Structure 1
Amino acid sequence: MSRPARALLALLAAALGLVAAAAAAPPDPAPGRPAPGRRLTVDDLSVVKLRATAVPDARSIAALGQHREGSGVVIDARGLVLTIGYLILEAEQVELSTADGRAFPATVVAYDAATGFGLVRSLVPLPIAPVAFGDSSAIADREPVLIVGFDGVAPAYVVSRRRFVGHWEYLLDEAIYTAPATVNWSGAALLSRQGRLLGIGSLLVPDAAGPGTQVPGNLFVPIDLLKPLLPDLIARGRSSAPPRPWLGLHTQEVQGNVIVTQVLPDAPAERAGIRPGDIVLALDGEPVRGQADFYTRLWSRGSAGVEVALEVLRAGRVQTVAVKTGDRDAYYRRRPTY
């Protein structure tokens, strides 16, 4: 038997072992535990299906659509569900459903743009036991894990832990990358061999094993980022930290150059006159060396509302554009979902 085949069999065995552990029920089954003889479902691993509908005039519709679907993970006994935030951004209606098709109305609790996490709460009791948090900082490369989405369970390996820079003014210092790739990753649970939650699914990526590799996989937001934020998110709907300065533009890095690819309508960058195609050379007189450097320099300038000076190369000429930054949360339209 080949080495890849042996590895796959070992990973499948680990998956089966974890699912079997989830089936271990006390004599009087608790909510979310399988009754004797019942087929296991993703409910038994604390995962539900999540559907959300954004408000008709949502600013995120162009990128995300109005109707969104993914997974959520039950994290407390009162129906609190963790998901990836873009599923519920500007949502006016949220519905959770269990593996047998039962639907439960829910309300948005919080969205954190810095991490990407979103929280909703079921408005009626969920028949699902919550998952326990793991230690995402302790996982190592080649560690076998389970990816649990509303459509099923997929075994995978952690193939790298590294920085992720998103074109939408987003950065994770140590994202979790897994392979092989799985479908329906949005909001999926990343579980350890002990069945503990390590992260929440965010993206499909072509280079999970590292820059320049051709290993399709998935990116997960580490659960350790949630732990210090969770009390604030539940109590206030957002972090208590001052909001970061936000420009409202998308960028691409090409050979260390930061190129503006999109400017969001009525965002601070558009109001200041930044255009697609501009190359960002400096921020407040300091040279910009790539996307990560650009974002971290911007965020270090203070809180939302601070004015920054961007030097941009446009049509062969260097121009300085003053931009009064904004609060990303204030830009998006939110309405109660109950």
Structure 2
Amino acid sequence: MRRFLKPLIWPVISGVLLAIVLLDQFPQLLGTQAPQAPDRQPLLQQPAPGPEEAGEIASSLKSTAVSRPPPELLEAAPLSRQSGPASYAEAVDKAAPAVVNIYSSRVVEREQHPLMSDPFFRQFFGDEMPSRQRMLSSLGSGVIVSEEGYVLTNHHVIRGADQIQVALRDGRETLAKVIGTDPESDLAVLKIDLDDLPIITLVDSESAEVGDVSLAIGNPFGVGQTVTMGIISATGRNQLGLSAYEDFIQTDAAINPGNSGGALINAEGALVGINTAIFSRSGGSQGIGFAIPANVAREILDELVRHGRVIRGWLGLEVQEITSDLAASFGLNAAQGVVVASVLPESPAQRAGVQQGDVLLSINGKPILDPRVAMADIADVEPDTTLPVKLMRNGETLQVEIEVGERPVPLER
């Protein structure tokens, strides 16, 4: 028997070993499947699970995952900013026709040698005496704001002019008449008599915000109408020494000599301000320009058209800002109010008994924190109005009543 089985042992052993190897390499022969290798495709190309699948995945993991508090995430609010246009041509087309070039000229006396006034030397020249007069011309810009032909510009553009010529974008030219000027705000109103005038739209300049797109339109250096772009850099700029009443819009749109009186418009082509001045060490644009807000220009326009002048309230005081040292010397707890530096003769303040050295604390119940703001508030008061004024004199608090007068028109400089 053993003799018959012995030849079969090695084939059986070999068959068992072969079966073990095959089952190890091909387990599906037993009817089960081994785990598959993960997909090798890039993660970004795999579709995200839907809501139902995500719920199932979360449920399956809930039993095995360790419970932890969710992290506190700083979430940004969705952006609501409207994207700007790729071009501002539409805004320029709307506003530019109403922006004009202004050419003003005046005759001035030429400086001559003193000998020219001596009759002995004059007889040698006879009728060929050199003329003592010469013509000065200047250029600027303006904005047509009404169908009646009223044009807003700067006072310094037409100061002392004997003749003012206005040139429109469509090629028409005409002489302009001065309706009124206001040196203290550096604004002037002209009038031209032409038909079918383009008119600019004024916007509430209080709505202008830092970062808004601004376009400056004018006639820089007399090269012709030019448009530059920037943003509104600041609002409410004052204490620049440019005029008595300052509330400027600052822009980095390039403004150069000749832009004065031109338009500062927004991205929709509406007038935001009247370009007035630049801050420059070289005389050219350095990205700091100033414009009079449209709201101020509208008020000045109405006053000049109605009265030919701007009517402002006036007390007849010259004041000085209180510093910390002055406040301590006057016995004040804080540096508020203003010190009366002088009282003009026959002024409303003098008639009310205000004296030099008094400290004005409040006007009409409003505390005085800034002399310029206080002066602007008084200017807004209609003349003949009685204002209660609280002041301090020699450590004693007093209350006086001042009847507001009309601010005198300043002399031309």
User: TM-score scaled to structure 2, two decimals?
Assistant: 0.48
Q: Which residue of structure 1 aligns with residue 250 of structure 2?
A: 177
**Alignment check: 8 A CA contact 1:169 1:246 kept:** no
Alpha-carbon separation, structure 2, partners of 1:169 and 1:219: 12
Alignment: residue pair count: 236
Q: Which residue of structure 2 aligns with residue 95 of structure 1?
A: 165
Cα distance, 1:18–1:167 mapped onto 2, change above 3 Å? closer
Paired AA for residue 52 in structure 1: S
What is the correspondence of 1:213-292 to structure 2 with a 5 Å cutoff?
216-242=287-313, 284-285=356-357
Given the alignment, which residue of 206, 210, 218 partners 1:137? 206
Alignment partner of 1:205 is 2:279: yes
Post-superposition shift, 1:180? 3.7
**Alignment check: 8 A CA contact 1:15 1:145 kept:** no
Q: Which residue of structure 1 aligns with residue 152 of structure 2?
A: 82
Unaligned runs of 5+ in 1: 1-9, 24-41, 58-64, 208-213, 248-255, 257-268, 273-282, 305-325, 334-338
Paired AA for residue 167 in structure 1: G
Cα distance, 1:168–1:71 mapped onto 2, change above 3 Å? closer
**Alignment check: 8 A CA contact 1:11 1:155 kept:** no
Post-superposition shift, 1:113? 2.8
Q: Which residue of structure 1 aligns with residue 29 of structure 2?
A: none
Paired AA for residue 288 in structure 2: G
Q: Which residue of structure 1 aligns with residue 216 of structure 2?
A: 147
Q: Which residue of structure 2 aligns with residue 19 of structure 1?
A: 92
- Structure 1 residues 35-81: Cα deviation after superposition (integer angstroms, max 9, x where no partner): xxxxxxx4x2x111011224637xxxxxxx95321000001112110
**Alignment check: 8 A CA contact 1:14 1:193 kept:** no
Larger Rg: 2
Paired AA for residue 182 in structure 1: I
Paired AA for residue 143 in structure 1: D
Cα distance, 1:145–1:180 mapped onto 2, change above 3 Å? closer
Post-superposition shift, 1:331? 1.9
Cα distance, 1:159–1:78 mapped onto 2, change above 3 Å? same
Cα distance, 1:245–1:127 mapped onto 2, change above 3 Å? farther
Structural RMSD (CA): 4.2
Paired AA for residue 235 in structure 1: R
Q: Which has the higher contact order (CA 8 A, sep 6+)?
A: 1
Greater fraction helix: 2
Cα distance, 1:107–1:293 mapped onto 2, change above 3 Å? same
**Alignment check: 8 A CA contact 1:142 1:157 kept:** yes
Post-superposition shift, 1:153? 1.1
Paired AA for residue 202 in structure 1: T
**Alignment check: 8 A CA contact 1:15 1:155 kept:** no
Q: Which residue of structure 1 aligns with residue 263 of structure 2?
A: 189
List 4+ stretches of structure 1 deviating above 4 A.
242-247, 292-304
Cα distance, 1:230–1:169 mapped onto 2, change above 3 Å? closer
Alignment partner of 1:49 is 2:118: no
Alpha-carbon separation, structure 1, partners of 2:251 and 2:141: 17
Post-superposition shift, 1:222? 0.3
Alpha-carbon separation, structure 1, partners of 2:162 and 2:104: 8
Q: For residue 193 of structure 1, give the secondary structure of its aligned residue in structure 2.
A: coil
Cα distance, 1:11–1:287 mapped onto 2, change above 3 Å? farther
**Alignment check: 8 A CA contact 1:11 1:156 kept:** no
Greater fraction strand: 1
Alpha-carbon separation, structure 1, partners of 2:272 and 2:306: 23
**Alignment check: 8 A CA contact 1:54 1:89 kept:** no
